Structure 1
Amino acid sequence: MRLALGYVPLVDAASLIAAAELGFARAEGLTLDLVREPSWATLRDKLAVGHLDGAHMLAPLAIASALGLSGPQTRLCVPMALNLNGNAITVSRPLWEAMEAADDEVDTVAAAFARIALRREREGRPLTLGTVHPFSSHTYQLRIFAERGGLDLDTQTRLVVIPPPQIAEALRRELIDGFCVGSPWNSVAVAEGYGRIAVLGSELLPDCPEKVLALPESEASRCASLVRALDRAGRWCADLDNSAELASLLSRDGYLNVPAPILERALTGDVVVDTDGRRRRDPHFSLFGERAHRPDPAHADWFIGEAERAGQLVASDELRSAARAIYRPDLFDAALSG
């Protein structure tokens, strides 16, 4: 069976790329045609109109799409999660220097950030922050970070949406003052000399649910072979002994087109945060494999709660039940037991 799967160029698309390139899909009788998409909105719409058979997708966006809150309402199911964590908040080097944070603790950095943001807001020059999509853990992590410093993200900063592959360039061009994005684009901003990683997402919100495998609901009964292939690929990606090979694979022009050493930082959790080479080490910075793969309906509950706090919806028992129903641990369990 041949499947077209969409992805946005990020490290957490690794399971799809490894499955396609290293034989995991072929072992299940599948040929995967991976389609690199420029933005989450494009991927969402192409999945909705049937140009894709499935996708590497922001978990909150899969829920929003299925509930008719973002783009065409699309009946989707999530038979598998792809990863946990992997995001970071990065600011421009001039902003970091102005913050004068005494240490790298989350609350210290958040308070220093809020102090500058409040001053800029009083001056009529609010900080502009980039997120990858309104319905994303990135948006919610930015809100949590702001709140840790006593800042109201909605009224005291300006939030704009920029696709992941363009967000570091937007910082370089001084169109934004900071952003939250998945790897490798934080590390790209550091490596190219204009960004400073302020907070790792895994420090701000441990085990944050991130990307999922989103499929049309009509494919639920036929997804077992794909789930098995991606599960085995994800377990391979989780093995640190494979990180150098995986980084080399992801670095290819047709995939992420980013130097392998930058990608390996995210895969190993040994993250360079500034141009002086300072590092933050977190083995849970980006998680694949057994710990991440089984879709958890409790994650849908969290997304609905965060979306309500962000003013994106009015939660109800009916809405929560509909969101939970999109997550299908039964499909995951059946695939792995088959």
Structure 2
Amino acid sequence: MGTNDAATPPPERERVTLGFIPLLDAVLLVVAREKGLFADQGLDVNLSRENAWSTLRDKLAAGLLDGAHLLAPLPLAMSLGLGRAPCDTLAPATLSRNGNALVLSTALCERSGAAFDDDPAASARALAAWLAASPRQRRPRLAMVYPYSCQHFLLRDWLACGGLAPERDLDLVALPPPRMVAALREGQIDGFCVGEPWGSLAQHDGVGRIVASGAQLWPEHPEKVLGVTRPWAHRYPGTLAALLRALQAASDWLAESPAHRRQARDWLALPPYLDRSVSHLETLPLAEAPIHQRLFGGDLLCPDLAALGRIADAVASQAGQPLNRKTLEACYTPVHYQAALHR
């Protein structure tokens, strides 16, 4: 067994399975496993790669996973029963901020003149002007990853900057992140909003161009969280605390040096994780323009209720139902993190 603070109970179970989607912001889970930080806390953690958020959601709710790397809005949507039967879900840690790219196909960028600009509205206005002036055989089709996701909300906000409404001007579809680049290449979609590395991969491969980023539209928004069901958290408080300590250690380790971030990129490139989808990256690109992804620093892992409020408002708007503050606080309470790390 590994180290444990006497003020918190030891892990109630040694073997834990955590689900993840192949994205750069699963890196804290990967680092904690590959560097032995989970093992230091007395945990034998298996990381289960899933390709769709709906699959991850359902496996977590069914108890097939102990926890998961989740979209920040998903614990709230699950608790409210949006998209499936209600499942009381918590997000005791934030795993990343920012990290999303809005991408249009290279052909659409060339036709419309949409390009990346310091003002994200510029590319949206260019697209809108082209749509208004150009006859088309079909409406453009843009993809996001899940209805209750920051990617969906960011995409709608970006389109609104150009006066575009999805229901009127184009079609929105949901696709798993690993499918985005291939779907763009094959002409099934004309653009997407997704987390890294898929946006930069589309640009590297020449099939798409980044025209805006989530960091421009919602600066420092929480993007991914650790998710567990409330019954699981109540049954295994010591195990949850051990997970949180290991993830904090992974974040601290990433912050220590560029060499650690290069090593993290190499771990992500292993076949069980992101494999060849990160081969275009020389290192783990953190806090770099235009994505400005943040995977460590300060109290990143501690749930930030103020920052999550905007996400909660977007969930409520999408669902067409009001949301009270108590529901938000119940899903994203920082008490588990604070207890585990004594902060």
TM norm structure 1: 0.89
- The change in CA–CA distance for 1:34 and 1:166 in structure 2 (over 3 A counts) is same
Assess, with a 3 A threshold, how the Cα gap between structure 1 residues 43 and 167 changes in structure 2: closer, same or farther. same
1:321 is matched with: 326
CA contact (8 A) 2:214 2:291 kept: no
Task: Select which of 230, 243, 252 maps to 2:270.
Answer: 252
Which residue in 2 is equivalent to 1:30? Answer: 43
Q: Are the counterparts in 2 of residues 184 and 266 from structure 1 also a CA contact under 8 Å?
A: no
User: For 1:113 and 1:207, how far apart are their aligned partners in 2?
Assistant: 26
Q: Which amino acid aligns with 1:153?
A: P
Partner letter of residue 75 of structure 1? D
How many Å apart are 1:109 and its aligned residue? 1.3
Task: Give, as a single letter, the amino acid of the residue that structure 2 aligns with 1:201.
Answer: G
CA contact (8 A) 1:129 1:178 kept: yes
Letter in 2 for 1:308: A
CA distance in 2, matches of 1:83, 1:191: 23
- CA displacement 1:78-102 (0-9 Å, x = unmatched): 1111110111001100111112247
Deviation, 1:240, is: 5.1
Q: How does 1:277-288 map to 2 (within 5 A)?
A: 281-282=289-290, 284-288=292-296
One-letter amino acid matched to 1:54: G
Any gaps of 5 or more consecutive residues in structure 1? 271-280
Aligned partners of 1:316 and 1:254: how far apart in 2?
Answer: 38
- Does structure 1 conserve the Cα–Cα contact (< 8 Å) formed by 2:94 and 2:303? yes
Equivalent residue for 1:229? 246
Look up the equivalent residue of 2:93 and give its one-letter code. M
| Number of the residue aligned with 1:87 | 100
Name the Cα RMSD after superposition: 2.0
Which sections of structure 2, spanning at least 5 residues, go unmatched?
1-13
Is 1:73 the counterpart of 2:78 in the alignment? no
- Partner of 1:258, secondary structure, is helix
Cα-to-partner distance string for 1:169-213 (whole Å, 9 max, x where unaligned): 110100000000000011111222211111122122210211100
Question: What number of residue pairs does the alignment pair up?
Answer: 324
1:158 aligned to 2:171?
yes
SS at match of 2:154: helix
Mapped partners of 1:127, 1:286: distance in 2? 31
Letter in 1 for 2:179: Q
- How far does residue 219 in structure 1 lie from its aligned partner after superposition? 3.1
Map 1:1-338; keep pairs closer than 5 Å. Answer: 1-101=14-114, 104-105=117-118, 106-119=120-133, 123=136, 125-220=138-233, 221-222=237-238, 223-239=240-256, 241=258, 242-258=260-276, 260-264=278-282, 267-270=285-288, 281-282=289-290, 284-310=292-318, 312-317=319-324, 320-337=325-342
Q: Tell me, yes or no, if the aligned pair for 2:261 and 2:283 is still in contact at 8 Å.
A: no
Residue 260 of structure 1 deviates from its aligned partner by 4.5
Alignment partner of 1:34: what SS?
A: strand
The 3 A distance-change label for structure 1 pair 68 and 309 is: closer
Alpha-carbon offset, residue 75 of structure 1? 1.6
Which amino acid counterpart does residue 330 of structure 1 have in structure 2? Answer: V
TM-score (norm 2): 0.88
Q: Is the 2:313–2:323 contact (alpha carbons within 8 Å) kept by the matching residues of 1?
A: no
CA distance in 1, matches of 2:18, 2:133: 45
Is the Cα contact below 8 Å between 1:61 and 1:70 reproduced in 2? Answer: no
After TM superposition, the structure 1 stretch with the greater mean CA deviation from structure 2, 5-14 or 207-216, is 207-216
3-state SS, counterpart of residue 247 of structure 1: helix
Taking the aligned partners of 2:216 and 2:205, their CA distance within structure 1 comes to 24
Q: Provide the C-alpha distance between the structure 1 equivalents of 2:15 and 2:162, rounded to a whole number of angstroms.
A: 49
Secondary structure of the equivalent of 1:286?
coil
